[in-house]
Amino acid sequence: MELLLPPHQGVELSVVDMHTGGEPLRIIVAGYPEVRGDSVLSKRSELPEADLGVLFMHNEGYSTMCGHAVIALGRFAVDYKLVKEPQSPETQVNIHCPCGLVKAFVEYSAGKTGAVRFLSVPAFAFATDVMVKVEGFGEVMVDISYGGAFYAFVEAQRFGLDVKQSRTRDLVDAATAVTRAVKSQVKLHHPISDDLAFLYGTILTDGLDKFSPEPTANICVFAEAQVDRSPTGSGVTARVALQYHKGLIQLNQTRTFQSGATGSQFTGKAVEETTCGDFRAVVVEVAGRAFYTGVSRFVQEPEDKLAQGFLLQ
């Protein structure tokens, strides 16, 4: 029996649910309020090249880049015919993200979509070996890198933790403390826009940054202490840029990055040297797989005083 919504005067939201490496994504395809404003980021010159534009939402607001979402959106765009006739073996999907134009390439064969890779905006190491005072942990040395968003990087071992074995709560507490310390003690800047110059989160690593065929694990804590179940697409981008800056990997050396939370994997490699203002930068290719999990319709009725939602801290 098909279930239909009863008559109502509310607003309907139609969504498609997916996940990439265990990290969920809800794509709003209809019902989202009209987006207004002429911010600098919304007027970027790459916009006419894009097949679609996107805003990324999370539990704290909006982010400038989301790699796991780009992987899912690439597949979604081809399957839902948001791009021209698909091409084999790959179909290109240009996605206008708040950080700039990101080019995704979707495997396509016999009418079916598969894995997705994307080329990042210029990614760069912002600062290395920065000492910050972290509440509860004393002085901690961190690296800061940009991959469409800024992240602080530190080895989990510094806190006596393991990204695969330690309790998630302990990892979140350590990463959140680092994020707060960096935000209060380090001033970030981005050559393109001040709107990009904020710390999105902290990534705890297993410390295996030197090139190896074996996977290296990390866990990302971003926004309001939210844990990424995937290896984090923009985080992988930033980590590859950092490894390249330190001479730990070379161009076109593919590394495998594993989520400490789910064990899911992305690959990443620096494919081209470039610049971003005065920063030496690289274009990073990140690849992974996304899967569909559902299609839904939601309703917001005008009499519902909780229709806008609420957070439990």
Closest Cα to residue 93, out of 81, 83, 108?
Answer: 83
What structural domains does the chain harbor? Answer: 11-120 (3.10.310.10), 124-287 (3.10.310.10)
Of the residues 66, 97, 99, 220, which is catalytic? 66
Q: How far apart are CA 208 and CA 205, in angstroms?
A: 8
Average pLDDT of the segment spanning 64-73: 96
Q: Tell me how far apart the alpha carbons of residues 44 and 31 are, in angstroms, rounded to a whole number.
A: 25
- Residue 251 has phi, psi (to 5 degrees) of -60, 140
Does the predicted TM-score (pTM) go above 0.75?
yes
Res. 37: pLDDT tops 70: no
99 belongs to the catalytic site: no
Residue 157 is predicted with a pLDDT of: 98
Q: Per-residue pLDDT tens for 196-254?
A: 999 999 999 999 999 999 999 999 999 888 999 999 999 999 999 999 999 999 999 99
Q: How confident is the model at residue 305 (pLDDT cuts 50, 70, 90)?
A: very high
Over residues 247-274, the pLDDT tens digits come to 999 999 999 999 999 999 999 999 999 9
